[in-house]
Amino acid sequence: MILVIDVGNTNIVAGVYEDSSLLTYWRLQTDKDRTSDEFGITLINLFKYEKIDSSKISAVIISSVVPPIMYSLEHAARKYFNHEPMVVGPGVKTGLNIRTDNPKEVGADRIVNAVAAVEIYGPPLIIVDFGTATTFCVVNSKKDYLGGSICPGIKISTEALYQKAAKLPRIELMKPETVICKNTVSSMQSGIIYGYVGQVDYIVCRMKEELCEDNIKVVATGGLARLIASESKQIEYTNSLLTLEGLRVIYEKNR
């Protein structure tokens, strides 16, 4: 069994694979101040809750976009699972050719998502990740990672409305039945949800034009992927656990 950990700006998602099967996964809040013991004990307790023997973990692999958390997390892997963790970064085999101006700048999560999408759906691809930021990544038919776009995430945009406009309330992210709404809350939900659908579809269309290839698949991932994908005309596949699958694939390529 292997333990895969994806560290995002808002959440940490950890999962346990036995061969190619995901046995279970957990979502934790990203806390830069948490110690290695707090990370380790939390994970051990989650293993116990799921009745999984943590001593059977044979490897740990981590991708992270939060550098300050890595010392504690890596130390937790050594102390509580007795393994030196594999960290996704320069020097790790991914099967992709990173064709950007500075490959070291590309977020590990974006590379991991691309690896998983290529493995599951096959290139060429556009991957849309609805996280703290919304990222668009493009992989051509030669498995070249070409880069993409980064936009403010849906929750960031919603929170900005609440904080910067005195009379606008904090709202729940849900899809209203109509675009023309008769109250403030529904109007905000309409603008956020349908506005984001329009943004996603427009950017994906422009990317398809620039890529100039046939049969380009569009895959969405992240916590709010299904909400947007249900209205999008461009998103074909939704896979909320794409990053965990990518970590498993990268581990297999490097072990």
Write down which residue in 27, 62, 87 finishes a domain: 87
Do 62 and 106 reside in the same domain of the chain? no
Q: In angstroms, what CA-CA distances link 143 with 90, 118, 124?
A: 17, 8, 7
Domain span holding position 104: 97-247
| Three-class DSSP category at 187 | helix
Summarised one tens digit per residue, pLDDT across range 15-42 is 999 999 999 999 999 999 999 999 999 9
Does the residue 254 lie in any domain?
no
- List phi, psi (to 5°) of 59: -165, 155
- Domain-ending residue, one of 55, 87, 119: 87
Q: Are strands 125-130 and 133-139 parallel, antiparallel or unpaired?
A: antiparallel
User: Given 31, 101, 109, 144, which residue is catalytic?
Assistant: 109
pLDDT tens for each residue of 90-122: 889 999 999 999 988 898 999 999 999 999 999
Classify residue 209: in a domain, yes or no.
yes
68 & 8 share domain: yes
As a whole number of Å, the CA-based R_g of the chain is 19
Q: Which residues pair with 26 in a beta bridge?
A: 14
Closest-CA residue to 221 (of 210, 203, 237, 205)? 237
The pLDDT value given to residue 168:
85
> What's residue 90's pLDDT?
86
Whether 48 and 149 map to the same domain: the answer is no
- The total domain count for the chain is 2
CATH code, 146? 3.30.420.40
Domain assignment present for 219: yes
pLDDT for position 96? 94
109 a catalytic residue: yes
